[in-house]
Structure 1
Amino acid sequence: MQLEEKSGKIFDMVILRRLYGFMKPYMGYFIILVILILLLAAIGPVMPLLIQYTIDHYILRMDYQGLTQMVLLMVALLFSQAILQYCNTYLSGWLGQNIIRDIRIKLYRHLLDLRLKFYDNTPIGRLVTRTISDIETLADVFSEGIAAIAGDLLQIVGILAIMFYTEWRLTLVSLSILPFMFLGTYVFKEKIKESFNEVRTAVANLNSFVQEHITGMSILQIFNSEATEYKKFEEINREHRRANLKSVLYYSVYFPVAEVIAAGCTGLLVWYGAKGVLAEHITLGTLIAFIMYISMFFRPLRMIADRFNTLQMGIVSTERIVKLLDSEEYIPNQGNITPNSIDGNVVFDNVWFAYNDENYVLKGISFEVKKGQTVALVGATGAGKSSVINLLSRFYDINSGKILVDGIDLKEYELSALRSQISVVLQDVFLFSDSILNNITLGNPAISLEQVMNAAKLVGAHSFIEKLPGGYQYNVMERGATLSVGQRQLISFVRALVYDPKIIVLDEATSSVDSETEEMIGDAIQTLMQGRTSIVIAHRLSTIQNATKIIVLDRGEIKEQGTHEELLLLDGYYAQLYRMQYKSILQHEKTHHVERESKI
């Protein structure tokens, strides 16, 4: 995945207003931060003034008592400056971390509400970057961006004002090389901005490659592609190194050049000031104070270009985050019906649906499932079976027609209330890197361990869970990698059962398990369906022969429907598919019998 290589405008008022909106709850703390910055900017130039006064009025006049008092005053000033600097650094960091915490929570809450169509069209890596990397960049905006730039600018203005007030001729001489510094700073700012864009793109490519290939490591090893992919990684890593070294080069050139320019200014200052001291129209204290001013003046000037780039990167990140937050890819949740329970009568009435609003995957689908009945959906891959159950849970909205539950349109139900009445068991079971208990309850405190254990016993999962280290507290690792396919499927059954739904959807729920495991959970599935409306998608027709109705889908249309016996009598698509599977089963059993006989 490649991130955009553009850099935002620092003074983009639309984005700055959104930044202000994020910061508004902490405006009191921000005002305190501004006050601290003002105090630090004011205190900074005071120290050279005190040193100038001390040299001219106490040291040169051998006034040790006055010198002692001034030293104590300067120590107190340094101590105060240290405290203010600590408060400024901590508060700016605290402010940044709290703001990005709020933004990250708001963004994640928004992601939870987005419909599945959004995730179908958006790379996961991009969303991870928005949620983590881009938001983290905003912390730098508040700790090293806005506040730091404001402090630097105020200090520069304050120092210049004091220098011109004290000795304007000395000021002009000492700053005569300043145009070279401005030119160098501008060139550095533009070059480092360009290199930052390249680094960001290189990092995105590297992260994307590593994430994708670690996930697909088994495929690489199965097809013996390690060497080829290693060469690809070397190339991507080389580009990452090149982009970073380019930015390092600009830093290594700019800062020494800035130091040379600052040293040149100091040299001119000493040369001209020394002549003034000898001619007695400039005091020694003034000359020493000006040397300190030059050092204080160039320090923030050297950093300000880098901080402007930090702010610019923050504006780009804010723009991306705002764009994601403004996305309206969500299922409208305007229903107000929140039943504690439903009967489970389901009606699809002339339903048309397309994922991309052009190519319809369901065309005029109509069927009814009454309370407690089981309807099975059969058809080739792409026939529209999974689309039916996605629409029932309102993961997507239909283009036309109606879907009714207990005679009420789905859109009139409050979304979470509707989905709480439906449990779905998918073919591809997803488990989080967490305990078995948390994977079953999904963190719902209303579900007790006893309920989970009872459900696990019902589907035959309790025995294998108890044998695992820690039992129900066993961590299944990422995507349930430490469990077999059958075990993951059994856990998904427990998860569906423990929520006590009125409608059960089994999407190829037994296609990934072996015959022994399928037989073990067969009775549990029947128990799970008892008294509940059930919609079953299955490739193994042997699992749906007892269904109340079997609907045969082909290219989004209903071709046949009826009971198992009725469809066999039709001698159509279903009968042909059944004979093919039956023949395959007989052939498998024959082969297995021959192998067993040969071993004997």
Structure 2
Amino acid sequence: MNYNLNKLADDKKKPSTIASLKRLLQLIANERRPLLLALIVILVNSGLNLLGPYLIGHTIDTYVVTKRYHGVLVFSAILLSMYLIVLLTSYLQTKLMGSVGQRLLFTLRNAIFNKLQQLPVAFFNQNKAGDLISRVNNDTDKLNQFFSQALTQFISSIATMTGAGIFLLVIHVELGLAALCPAAIILVFTKIISPWLKKKNAVNLKSVGGMSAEIQESLDNFKVIVAFNRRDYFRKRFDEANRANYRTAIQAGLANNIFLPVYSLFSSLAQLVVLTFGIYLISKGQFTVGLLVSYLAYCVSFYNPLRQLASLWSSFQVAMAGWDRISQILSLETNLTIIQKETSTMNNPVLEFKHVHFAYPGGKEILHDINFSLESGKTYALVGPTGGGKTTAASLMARLYDPTAGTVLLNGRDIRTFEAAERSQKIGFILQEPFLFSGTVKENILYGNPAYQDYSGEQLQELVQAKGLGELLSIFDGGLETQVSSNGDDLSLGLKQVIAFIRAVLRNPDVLILDEATANIDTVTEQLLEKILQQLPQETTLVIIAHRLNTIENADEIFFVNLGEVTRAGSFNEAVERLMHGKSAS
């Protein structure tokens, strides 16, 4: 299954703005009450703002022209009270929508992170971590900014425009139609330009993700960069990503600002039409000065929000472009689904491959019609030249991937019938490059092991000793409380392997897979590991992937993996001979 987000974005038909907005509103369905309350507050605010010009016009025609100043004072007091209420409602709408925006940000980031936890390893192989981080941080923040800041102004502007348009038509139909004609042209212009604007912002967000990916790759491989003195290479790569982001940011910025001058032009044109036509009507005795003042105010109330909408619409398009990138992740489903549980017969091999084929997405087939079985309590070794398929076969054993054809059986059952928690309890996997979390050694060895999650330091120390892991733990100066930085960068690869080894052994798996687990460990520590492996429960099956021949010498059975085929190697000497021949052939 293809999980490449950029490829999916190119292949997939772009959803309409309305469709994107509907999906977003479904995600915040539990925010209906505060959104409704905010809408009421916004309408009250807009209504009072719209009532002001009418009262001012009425005051001019009724009290100013007739010099009845008592009425002017009364209506001035009424207007002051109204505008105080407007101030209060402005604060309430900002508070309500700000809270909605922050809760949306929290919900979105949780939803994305939880979705990422459900996706298979193939997804992370096909997408750069920097781009995913950009989607979690940058794209969600664009939505938060829109909901907490722009949406309030957006709704308020639309409400004010609608009310002002109604007042314009009610006061004088002909003058109102003349005032609203430029708005029709603006509407057509906006409809034509919006898809182009959204596309420019989507390209910019994609370039931001690409730059984040370049930065992360450079930082993750900084030691290699320094060792090979290739700062120039990564500097060039970053410069290219930065220039690409600069170009797309300029284009997006120009696109986002195209509305403002156009809206301003038509707003000024509308006011000119109102002023000219209004003076003509006054000269004919069909209009009053107070109504003309009110009318000009309503014209401003109609077109000023339009100018605000020019920038708000750009913000909306940015938010929708971000939402499209977010929804790509949320719409994905893992291809490692759990199928219906089936019954298994007794005395089955602990692990079995039946006519297994495998190919990575978009690549050629790596394993061809593989058939073999592993018995409980035995030690098996997978040997062969680099690229032969050893790690791929081990990954299928742990169900990091599913075969493209054939079946992998665990205890006589299709491995796809096991829930993830049950499967990971039965199968331990020590990778070539183990991943560690920032924290302590204790926290790292208990990761994903609920059986000992509540153990105190003393209890865990006793357990480690009982498992024969005490000598390994003594390698760390601080024991269980030794601090580990992010991904264990302050530890050697050998020490990271030791932590991963302890973590796997404490789970008591039925099958323990060691993928070059001792490749970066000194001889003394390797002897300790071998001693501990000999003390594992008799029913534990060991699968060892190794290039160093001494690590497979005591294996009960050796499989030779090369050119996508897995065959029994026979004796140790035969395996050595085939391995050397395979290397020379490759």
Bin for the TM-score computed over the shorter chain = 0.7 to 0.9
Residue 27 of structure 1 and its aligned partner are, at CA, apart by 3.0
Please give the alpha-carbon distance, in whole angstroms, between the structure 1 residues aligned to 2:117 and 2:373: 31
Residue 416 of structure 1 is matched in structure 2 by: 421
* Aligned match for 1:376, one of 364, 373, 381: 381
- The answer to whether 1:352 aligns with 2:356 is yes
Q: Which runs of 5+ in 2 are unaligned?
A: none
Residue 445 of structure 2 is matched in structure 1 by: 440
CA contact (8 A) 2:353 2:373 kept: yes
Deviation per residue, 1:48-82 (Å, 9 max, x gap) = 11222233334444545433432332222222222
Deviation per residue, 1:61-116 (Å, 9 max, x gap) = 45454334323322222222223223323333333443443343333333222222
Please give the alpha-carbon distance, in whole angstroms, between the structure 2 residues aligned to 1:578 and 1:418: 35
Please give the alpha-carbon distance, in whole angstroms, between the structure 2 residues aligned to 1:546 and 1:558: 20
Residue 462 of structure 1 is matched in structure 2 by: 473
Residue 556 of structure 1 and its aligned partner are, at CA, apart by 3.6
Q: Structure 1-normalised TM-score?
A: 0.81
Cα gap change, 1:550 to 1:232, in 2 (>3 Å): closer
CA contact (8 A) 1:338 1:418 kept: no
Please give the alpha-carbon distance, in whole angstroms, between the structure 2 residues aligned to 1:50 and 1:7: 51
SS of the equivalent of 1:483 reads coil
Q: Structure 2-normalised TM-score?
A: 0.82
SS of the equivalent of 1:465 reads coil
Residue 574 of structure 1 is matched in structure 2 by: 576
**How many positions carry a matched residue from both structures?**
568
Residue 491 of structure 1 and its aligned partner are, at CA, apart by 0.8
- The answer to whether 1:366 aligns with 2:357 is no
Q: Which runs of 5+ in 1 are unaligned?
A: 582-600
Residue 494 of structure 2 is matched in structure 1 by: 486
Residue 39 of structure 1 and its aligned partner are, at CA, apart by 2.7
CA contact (8 A) 2:202 2:321 kept: no
* Aligned match for 1:431, one of 430, 436, 441: 436
* Aligned match for 1:503, one of 494, 511, 517: 511
SS of the equivalent of 1:511 reads coil
SS of the equivalent of 2:474 reads helix
Residue 106 of structure 1 is matched in structure 2 by: 111
Residue 42 of structure 1 and its aligned partner are, at CA, apart by 2.3
* Aligned match for 1:218, one of 214, 223, 230: 223
Please give the alpha-carbon distance, in whole angstroms, between the structure 2 residues aligned to 1:520 and 1:182: 76
Q: Which moved more, 1:4-13 or 1:111-120?
A: 4-13
Please give the alpha-carbon distance, in whole angstroms, between the structure 1 residues aligned to 2:75 and 2:58: 9
SS of the equivalent of 1:51 reads helix
Q: Which moved more, 1:108-117 or 1:317-326?
A: 317-326
Cα gap change, 1:577 to 1:528, in 2 (>3 Å): same
Cα gap change, 1:377 to 1:8, in 2 (>3 Å): closer
Residue 596 of structure 1 is matched in structure 2 by: none
Residue 162 of structure 1 and its aligned partner are, at CA, apart by 1.0
Please give the alpha-carbon distance, in whole angstroms, between the structure 2 residues aligned to 1:577 and 1:523: 26
SS of the equivalent of 1:155 reads helix
- The answer to whether 1:512 aligns with 2:520 is yes
CA contact (8 A) 1:560 1:567 kept: no
Residue 480 of structure 1 and its aligned partner are, at CA, apart by 0.9
Counterpart amino acid of residue 90 in structure 2: Q
Cα gap change, 1:109 to 1:245, in 2 (>3 Å): closer
Q: CA RMSD in A?
A: 3.9
Mapping for residues 196-235 of structure 1, pairs under 5 Å: 196-235=201-240
Q: Which moved more, 1:143-152 or 1:351-360?
A: 143-152
* Aligned match for 1:304, one of 300, 309, 314: 309
Give the % identical residues: 25
CA contact (8 A) 1:255 1:302 kept: yes
Residue 548 of structure 2 is matched in structure 1 by: 540
CA contact (8 A) 1:334 1:414 kept: no
Counterpart amino acid of residue 359 in structure 1: E
CA contact (8 A) 1:375 1:547 kept: yes
Residue 507 of structure 1 and its aligned partner are, at CA, apart by 1.4
CA contact (8 A) 2:260 2:310 kept: no
Please give the alpha-carbon distance, in whole angstroms, between the structure 1 residues aligned to 2:16 and 2:582: 67
* Aligned match for 1:44, one of 45, 49, 69: 49
* Aligned match for 2:99, one of 94, 104, 119: 94
CA contact (8 A) 1:52 1:289 kept: yes
SS of the equivalent of 1:420 reads helix
CA contact (8 A) 2:381 2:555 kept: yes
Please give the alpha-carbon distance, in whole angstroms, between the structure 1 residues aligned to 2:329 and 2:488: 30
Residue 354 of structure 1 and its aligned partner are, at CA, apart by 0.7
SS of the equivalent of 2:560 reads strand
Counterpart amino acid of residue 352 in structure 2: F
